Amino acid sequence: MQAGQALVQILVKEGVTDAFGIPGAGINPVYKYLKDAPISHYCMRHEEACTHAADGYYRASHRIALAICTSGPGATNFVTGLYTANIDSIPFLAITGQAASGQLGMDPFQCVDIAEITKTVTKKSTCVLDARALPDVLREAFYLMRSGKPGPVLIDLPLDVQQAEIEFNIDDYEPLPVEPPAPDPGKIEQAIDMLAQAKKPLIIMGGGVTLSQSEPELIAFAELLRIPIIMTYMAKGGVPLAHPLNAGHAGIQVGQPIGNDTFLESDVVLGVGCRFTDRHTGDLKVYRGGRKFIHIDIEPGQIGKVFQPDIGIVSDAKKAVAALAAAAKKRGLKPFGEERITLLQEKRAKLARKTDYDTVPIMPHRVFHEINAAFDADTMFTVGCGITQIWSGQLQNIDKPRRYLPSGGAGTLGYEIPAAFGAKAADPLRHSVTVLGDFGFTFMGEEIGVAAVYGKPIIVVILNNAYLGLIRQNQKGAYGFEYAVDMPYNQDGRIDYVKIAEGFGCEAERAFTPDELSAALARAKASGKTYVIDAVCVPEQLCDMGGSVAAVKSFAPQA
């Protein structure tokens, strides 16, 4: 059979049921067989959107999807999405077309070495020159995506390779088994020793806990010893909002006062599946202080990347937490005192950020107040970058894991809408909502048309402040100037997001007051259609942020 047919059969056997792509001359030999496969294909309107949709699909479902496109500029448009997924440890399979292998190196039409270009933003990228090797290349690709620190894999296929005849029987193909690494028992005992000596220990739940779906186990371990949990941005929603050990987020941007306060009082920190990145830690001298750190991560290279912990444990999060719990029980480790937990409940109310502003134009905080009220705990949210992402991280209430699906490490404008569509394709019974800025809407905004025509409705809330808000805040705060960041035409009617949305087959409306926004959200939920809400907000409102977890400045009015 042709290699392209074998590829599609392998996709099906590996469990791929959905593909996000754009056909083209460089990949049509694969599309010939994709046409009749039991794989739903969604034709996106930009190649970058294919990758973000496959990304959002995995975050919502933990199932691998296919992103597929043609050669040349189609393939290079995959780069941003591959980077976005790779830094957040999100796997999907990227397939790109390529010029015939005999033309490589001769600069034929739409020929680019995409495998070399994407080496640093994938777990592996390969240009297949021998069609007979394709089954083994695919077997390794699915293994790599699922094992260790997950991430995307790219396979580049020359035209002649796609059409080459190979000996292949799908019944002989077997996926490679994946066995997550278990922790070193001696390191587990050392971690228990350190926790036993702590006065105010703290657990950090990171994105790796979300990826391993081990939130219940980590919460149970925290309950066993009565240790508060803070979440990184990538683990938002991992601990129920009302759980007595939920200490919110820590960080210099998307952190929360309760998280920073709880972190600063700690003396031993157990970080599980977290990366200690700059937006979480801020000033490392302040962050590290006199604390001791235990760092658990599935990727050996993450241990000590930012700073050397006192104990580093390479392990799958679920297996490590199970080992910690067993060791603590065997040792008879006593729970820490309830006084700290009682104080945590008091701080939760005292340190909560105000969101119920009644001003017109709408305060950005009020947008999230209304979103929190409008949607249930099963709603999926995507968010990309900028000042809107920071407000979202600080102010949105997320009560379940894998319901908050942000571009964390890359902060990619353009991720939001296609990722929301991908999430909806993965889980069509849930509302899929994206919150983004007016400028961010112009990145991949055309993908609302895809959601509309495929009957996979998403809700898009534009926080329209007519500014590049975070860039303006950085310009003024760090450099003392303001330039090229104001966009008054986004509010004064010269650019009309309602008409844009309607032109793509969506319903849309503009909200000027909190009451109008509340009513618009209700109509969006009831419509069953892709719905865009343009919320006109205070133009120059700054977001809370700072250089260290001890020096986050609030810019929000308190009255």
From the number of C-beta atoms within 10 Å of its C-beta (0-12, 13-18, 19+), residue 469 rates as: buried
Domain residue limits, the chain: 3-172, 185-350, 364-543
Q: Give the Å distances, CA to CA, from 126 to 20, 75, 478, 505.
A: 20, 13, 42, 39
Q: What is the DSSP letter of 535?
A: E
Phi/psi region, residue 477 (left: phi>0; alpha: psi -120 to 50; beta: rest), is: alpha
Instruction: Please write the tens of the pLDDT for every residue from 499-531.
Output: 999 999 999 999 999 999 999 999 999 999 999
* Integer Cα distance of 289 and 291 in angstroms: 6
**Mean per-residue pLDDT of the chain:** 97
364-543 placed in CATH 3.40.50.970 = yes
Best CA proximity match to 121, nearest among 142, 157, 96, 94: 94
Residues in the chain: 559
Q: Which neighbouring-strand residues pair with 459?
A: 433, 531
* Integer Cα distance of 75 and 69 in angstroms: 6
Best CA proximity match to 264, nearest among 283, 298, 288: 288
Q: Give the Å distances, CA to CA, from 187 to 184, 212, 310.
A: 5, 20, 11
Q: What confidence score (pLDDT) does residue 106 get? A: 86
Structure tokens at 328: 């603590």
Residue 93 CB coordination number (10 Å): 22
Structure tokens at 310: 């006192």
Q: What confidence score (pLDDT) does residue 147 get? A: 97
Instruction: Please write the tens of the pLDDT for every residue from 5-27.
Output: 999 999 999 999 999 999 999 99
Tokens 């949709």 correspond to what residue?
A: 53
Which helix H or strand E contains 4, and what residues bound it?
helix 3-13
* DSSP notation for 362-374: BPHHHHHHHHHHH
Q: Decide: 86 and 122 in contact? Cβ < 8 Å.
A: yes
Q: Give the Å distances, CA to CA, from 272 to 141, 242, 432.
A: 26, 21, 28
Q: What is the mean pLDDT of residues 79-97?
A: 98
Q: Is 463 helix (H, G, I), strand (E, B) or coil?
A: strand
Contacts by 256-261 with C-beta closer than 8 Å and gap 24+?
Answer: 256/351, 256/353, 256/394, 257/351, 257/352, 257/353, 257/552, 258/344, 258/347, 258/348, 258/351, 258/352, 259/230, 259/231, 260/549, 260/550, 260/552, 261/347, 261/351
Q: Decide: 539 and 468 in contact? Cβ < 8 Å.
A: no
Q: What confidence score (pLDDT) does residue 412 get? A: 98
Q: Is 154 helix (H, G, I), strand (E, B) or coil?
A: strand
CATH class assigned to 3-172? alpha beta
* Integer Cα distance of 455 and 48 in angstroms: 21
Q: Which neighbouring-strand residues pair with 535?
A: 463, 511
Percent of the chain scoring above 70 in pLDDT: 100
Q: Give the Å distances, CA to CA, from 168 to 91, 139, 154, 174, 261.
A: 26, 13, 22, 12, 60
Residues 6+ apart with CB under 8 A from 455: none
Best CA proximity match to 271, nearest among 339, 194, 345: 194
Q: What is the mean pLDDT of residues 76-100?
A: 98
What does R_g of the chain's alpha carbons equal in angstroms? 24
Q: pLDDT band for position 558 (50/70/90)?
A: confident
Q: What is the mean pLDDT of residues 226-230?
A: 98
Can the peptide bond before residue 401 be classed as cis, meaning omega within 30 degrees of 0?
no
Structure tokens at 47: 């190649």
Q: What is the mean pLDDT of residues 127-139?
A: 98
Q: What confidence score (pLDDT) does residue 559 get? A: 66
Q: Decide: 336 and 225 in contact? Cβ < 8 Å.
A: yes
Q: Is 189 helix (H, G, I), strand (E, B) or coil?
A: helix
- ∠ at Cα 455 (514, 142), nearest 5°? 105
Query: Which stretches within 297-439 are classed as H helix?
Result: 317-331, 339-350, 364-374, 386-395, 416-426
Residue 165 CB coordination number (10 Å): 11
Q: What is the mean pLDDT of residues 396-425?
A: 98
Instruction: Please write the tens of the pLDDT for every residue from 320-348.
Output: 999 999 999 999 999 999 999 999 999 99
Best CA proximity match to 13, nearest among 152, 176, 132: 176
Question: What dihedral do alpha carbons 441, 446, 450, 455 form, nearest 10°?
Answer: 50
Best CA proximity match to 536, nearest among 490, 502, 484: 490
Q: What is the mean pLDDT of residues 282-303?
A: 97
Query: Which stretches within 164-248 are classed as H helix?
Result: 185-196, 207-212, 215-225
Structure tokens at 24: 């083209």
Q: Decide: 129 and 111 in contact? Cβ < 8 Å.
A: no
Query: Which stretches within 203-338 are classed as H helix?
Result: 207-212, 215-225, 257-264, 278-281, 284-288, 317-331
Q: What is the DSSP letter of 200?
A: S
Q: Which neighbouring-strand residues pair with 93?
A: 66, 153
Query: Which stretches within 97-203 are classed as H helix?
Result: 114-117, 134-146, 159-163, 185-196
Q: Which neighbouring-strand residues pair with 204?
A: 230, 271
> Is pTM beyond 0.85 here?
yes
Backbone φ and ψ of 344, nearest 5°:
-60, -40
Do 3-172 and 185-350 agree at the fold level?
Answer: yes
Region 185-350: CATH code? 3.40.50.1220
